[in-house]
Structure 1
Amino acid sequence: MKKFAFMLLLMLFVLILPEHGQAAAGNNQIFLDGKELTAGQEVPVENVNSSIMVPLRMIAENLGYKVGWNQTSKTVTIEQQGKTVKLIVDQTTASVDDKTVILTNAPLNRSGTTLVPIRFISEQFGLTVSWDNTQKIVNLITPETGGNNTGSDSGASDGGTSVDVPPAETTNNLTMVNGISFNENRLTIAMEGNAVPKVSKVSGPDRIVVDLPNATFSDLFGTGQVLDPNLNGSLSVTDYPDVSGVRYSLYSTDPYTVRFVIDLKTPKNYSVDISGDTSKLVVIDLNAVSTGDTATQPGNSGRKLIVLDAGHGAKDSGAIGVTKKYEKNFNLAVVLKAAELLKKESNIDVVLTRSDDTFLELKDRAAMANNLHADLFISVHANSSASPAATGSETYYQRASSKALASVMHKYLVQATGLSDRGVRYGNFHVIRETTMPAVLLEVGYLSNKGDESLLFSEALQNRVAAGIVSGIKEYLGLK
């Protein structure tokens, strides 16, 4: 009897209790310029960690934005008049055009509806936003109408507690960090903008901290380096006795600051070199003398300075082979092998434009060589053709002062590959046109040719090409 009475009471409780989601939805309203938005608001506004979360699609579409949804990647894309915003459910990072921004809370998926922080709506759609905590009302005011928050249409009443959402720092004028690399005991940061790095040495443990104020990561950075959902990552560093690794993060959003940390095994001095105009390269050089923060720049000791450039990188795969192998990987493999051989030469210094799968703009590659006052610039590539029969090696120069270098380098290239000799050719490529020293671009073979591709990705050929590059450099410079 007691069990029956309990079940009856439970049934009555279920029947008279309103469904949670519907009851919650009835307790909050969203107004745009004084007009209540109702279509599409099946999911209630939520308060998550003191951040008011509102339905994104409903608001964006009422503002005239086109909204798309990718179920596989859980990505929301919002587009209007050339502006593109991308958000991923459960990730605190968002993409606004080519800029990365941080949300106060990650977007949530509630019954097929994406909720985002009300502050994000304010920042990205240019709205004045307020939250009436007593009445549970969101008020959105577009700058064109300059609407008002008074009167019965808004749903506000005297005595209600209205909380304005302060605008965050704008991201329009932020410096964009595009990529990093670490080689020859130097950290190189590629960026677009006017941020001035603040660099300091810290002990316990020993490390060098580089802060870029008024900066954030661009979308390009994420294609070349690992970034977790909170915009943290690290760069693996091996074979350098002074450095155990490099860490980076969007350290702050108030103000926006990107931080790089070079973790040291022993205390080190450093120098800082900044080159370029809008597109800049920041080099933190650990090859410093024992006292002070000055560095012995490569080539300053009487040795010749060679810049080796592995073409393409990260999102830019270059040519794709018959069996889907990427040119960028071949280029890097050869350059790393050549660099190791050049390091054994007592009268040569070598600098790499990239030592890992990093994306660098062509102008950044040329600027690096120019600013270092390099003696030679060698760019390594693999070719492709619409004709699968195309095969062979060729070498390009752009300026007359580079032709002699091209002839020497090509001789050793053909010997190393054993492929058809396609000759020394003129080519108007950016990296050999904009560099100020003798510069050549090597097209080792054709990835579109099955035989060439197989050969190019063999360890034996890569070793021969690397050795040929060294032999060509030494002959041209008259070094034994």
Structure 2
Amino acid sequence: MKKFAFTLLLLLFVLVIPEHGQAAAGTNKIFLDGRELTAGQDVPVENVNNSVMVPLRMIAENLGYKVDWNQKSKTVTIEQQGKTIKLIVDQTAASVDDKTVILQTAPLLRGGTTLVPIRFIGEQFGLTVTWDNVQKIVNLITPEAAGNNTGNDGNAGDGGTSVVVPPSETTNGLAMVNGLSFNENRLTIAMDGSSVPKVSKITGPDRIVIDLPNATFSDLFGTGQVLDPNLNGSLAVTDYPDVSGIRYSLYSTSPYTVRFVIDLNHAKNYSVEVTGDSSKLVVIDLNAQSTEDTATLPGNNGRKLVVLDAGHGAKDSGAVGVTGKYEKNFNLAIVLKAAELLKKENNIDVVLTRSDDTFLELKDRAAMANNLKADLFISVHANSSGSSAASGTETYYQRADSKAFANVMHKYLVQATGLSDRGVRYGNFHVIRETTMPAVLLEAGYLSNKKDESQLFTESLQNKVAESIVKGIKEYLGL
């Protein structure tokens, strides 16, 4: 049992060694409870950028956990005693039980062998990891042998690994920032918990600073946005002449404060709107004429507000087609096209749950629509089946007050796809169950069907589907 428990520990660790910037191969050794691990060491252990990297095969053959290697995606999956770790070659973003972790050094390939950072796994599975810099030895000690397991010692450095959120014992009671988006000249920040934003306008250069006190980043944030090991990141902004970019960081830990900075090309007014209870949206609207102007916020101007949801995103690809195409890309393409068309409608405002390849939890998608008090919610998807013969278009509703909306949307969607009509159906999907306005989930076609997939990824069909969404919305709203 002892040996079995240590198996997984060896997989993902990052051990800091005071030899910076070098790849020193062949001189480092690994000991588990005093026994040197050598089996499977076809490629030498390396010190890469202060991280001890070991062959995956060496770990798999010495320790007893389940290891899976996906050649196509270059993903390593390690499972033991209910815990799952995933890491990808050449990517510093890894996950532990679907929680994002940022590694100092990404896994890499050497002569067809995958090398992984050693320290991280040891910490995840309870091993004590120490480094003997004189003899160049990594010591892994099981909890039974170590007594008090600290997962670190004075010679091991900081491990080179940063979990996207601070330890849970330090974040109790803090608001959790889950994600952000920028579209229609509005910055929208999604968070859970209580935090009152402090917003200020600064010159030299021009920028707007948004501080969220008593807050930190949640593990969800790192799945959709970039966070470096110091919990800093940025969002590129294009096609908006007022804004050059957006930066964000865990600005302080005493007290905890998350800061967003909108870098402006010139001075700009703004308004601030906070909606929701436990799940909140903070909207910084650069369309405002003054800080008191809320009429420019979506739905506050007498126009109808529609929320478009592109299903899946980022790490969640959704269905994978017969030729390897991802559902998430189809969904986003449709939503972006439909949004551009809706912007031309004088009586409709549109908000997107995501406008790029980011990940949002289902509850955050529903909360966004509810907090904004949207009039309609539409989630766009493509289907999949275990049978390659399955084909056609479906529309789902969950609540009775959504059925009429589903009937209208389905009529136009079937016309647009030209695929077989599989009808309007009841479906207990989270985003159409937990929203409070008429809500539908559209399944345009089946990616598991070669013919459907080939059509869904054509520009002409995507344009037709986007147009059908606008037609359905307008008919249902009587516009």
TM-score (norm 1): 0.68
Q: Deviations over 1:214-237 (max 9, x none)?
A: 534637734x44556766543332
Contact persistence 2:281–2:368 (CA under 8 A)? no
Partner of 1:215: 216
Aligned runs of 1:418-437 on 2, under 5 Å? Answer: 418-437=418-437
Structure 2: which amino acid aligns with 1:367?
Answer: A
Task: Kindly state the Cα deviation for residue 141 of structure 1 after the two structures are TM-superposed.
Answer: 9.7
Gap change, CA 1:84 and 1:440, over 3 Å in 2:
closer
Partner of 2:285: 286
Distance 1:48 1:330 in 2: 39
Partner of 2:394: 394
Aligned runs of 1:67-216 on 2, under 5 Å? Answer: 81-83=81-83, 95-100=95-100, 171-173=167-169, 174=171, 178-191=178-191, 199-211=199-211, 215-216=216-217
Moved more, 227-236 or 198-207: 227-236
Q: Deviations over 1:280-328 (max 9, x none)?
A: 3533321463333653331121111111111222222222223222222
Aligned runs of 1:371-390 on 2, under 5 Å? Answer: 371-390=371-390
Structure 1: which amino acid aligns with 2:348?
Answer: I
Distance 1:74 1:335 in 2: 30
Task: Kindly state the Cα deviation for residue 199 of structure 1 after the two structures are TM-superposed.
Answer: 4.5
Gap change, CA 1:144 and 1:395, over 3 Å in 2:
same
Distance 1:350 1:394 in 2: 23
Distance 2:424 2:30 in 1: 72
Max radius of gyration: which structure? 1
Task: Kindly state the Cα deviation for residue 275 of structure 1 after the two structures are TM-superposed.
Answer: 3.3
Distance 1:443 1:301 in 2: 32
Q: Deviations over 1:308-366 (max 9, x none)?
A: 11122222222222322222212211111111111111111111111111211222111
The residue matched to 1:299 in structure 2 has which SS? Answer: coil
Partner of 1:362: 362
Distance 1:48 1:455 in 2: 46
The residue matched to 1:437 in structure 2 has which SS? Answer: coil
Aligned runs of 1:293-312 on 2, under 5 Å? Answer: 295-296=294-295, 297-312=297-312
Distance 1:70 1:105 in 2: 19
Distance 1:47 1:457 in 2: 45
Contact persistence 2:310–2:335 (CA under 8 A)? yes
Contact persistence 1:408–1:475 (CA under 8 A)? yes
Distance 2:303 2:408 in 1: 20
Gaps of 5+ in 2: 1-23, 149-153
Contact persistence 2:294–2:300 (CA under 8 A)? no
Instruction: Report the number of matched residues.
Output: 438
The residue matched to 1:305 in structure 2 has which SS? Answer: strand
Contact persistence 2:275–2:371 (CA under 8 A)? no
Task: Kindly state the Cα deviation for residue 68 of structure 1 after the two structures are TM-superposed.
Answer: 6.9
Distance 1:420 1:71 in 2: 35
Distance 2:351 2:431 in 1: 15
Task: Kindly state the Cα deviation for residue 419 of structure 1 after the two structures are TM-superposed.
Answer: 2.8
Distance 1:255 1:128 in 2: 31
Distance 2:472 2:91 in 1: 50
Task: Kindly state the Cα deviation for residue 78 of structure 1 after the two structures are TM-superposed.
Answer: 7.8
Structure 2: which amino acid aligns with 1:331?
Answer: N
Distance 1:253 1:77 in 2: 33
Gap change, CA 1:292 and 1:392, over 3 Å in 2:
same
Gap change, CA 1:228 and 1:448, over 3 Å in 2:
same
Distance 1:66 1:428 in 2: 37
Distance 2:446 2:131 in 1: 62
**2:232 equivalent to 1:236:** no
Distance 2:289 2:341 in 1: 27
Contact persistence 1:31–1:137 (CA under 8 A)? no
Partner of 1:337: 337
The share of aligned pairs that are identical, in percent, is 68
Structure 1: which amino acid aligns with 2:234?
Answer: S
Q: Deviations over 1:80-135 (max 9, x none)?
A: 644556789998877554445567899999xx9999899x7997677899999999
Contact persistence 2:30–2:140 (CA under 8 A)? no
Gap change, CA 1:90 and 1:333, over 3 Å in 2:
closer
The residue matched to 2:168 in structure 1 has which SS? Answer: coil
The residue matched to 1:356 in structure 2 has which SS? Answer: coil
Distance 2:227 2:356 in 1: 15
Distance 1:136 1:331 in 2: 51
Gap change, CA 1:141 and 1:461, over 3 Å in 2:
closer
Contact persistence 2:30–2:37 (CA under 8 A)? no
Task: Kindly state the Cα deviation for residue 183 of structure 1 after the two structures are TM-superposed.
Answer: 1.8
Distance 1:245 1:123 in 2: 36
Contact persistence 2:66–2:80 (CA under 8 A)? no
Task: Kindly state the Cα deviation for residue 403 of structure 1 after the two structures are TM-superposed.
Answer: 1.9
Task: Kindly state the Cα deviation for residue 369 of structure 1 after the two structures are TM-superposed.
Answer: 0.9
Partner of 2:465: 465
Q: Deviations over 1:393-421 (max 9, x none)?
A: 23222222222222222222223223333
Partner of 1:328: 328
Contact persistence 1:319–1:326 (CA under 8 A)? yes
Distance 1:104 1:321 in 2: 34
Distance 2:37 2:124 in 1: 22
Q: Deviations over 1:28-57 (max 9, x none)?
A: 99998xxx77777x9xxx9999x9989999
Aligned runs of 1:343-354 on 2, under 5 Å? Answer: 343-354=343-354
Distance 1:88 1:422 in 2: 39
Structure 2: which amino acid aligns with 1:313?
Answer: G
Gaps of 5+ in 1: 1-19, 149-161
Task: Kindly state the Cα deviation for residue 374 of structure 1 after the two structures are TM-superposed.
Answer: 0.8
Structure 2: which amino acid aligns with 1:283?
Answer: V
Contact persistence 2:397–2:427 (CA under 8 A)? yes
Contact persistence 2:178–2:217 (CA under 8 A)? no
The residue matched to 1:234 in structure 2 has which SS? Answer: strand
Distance 2:114 2:447 in 1: 46
Distance 2:257 2:64 in 1: 30
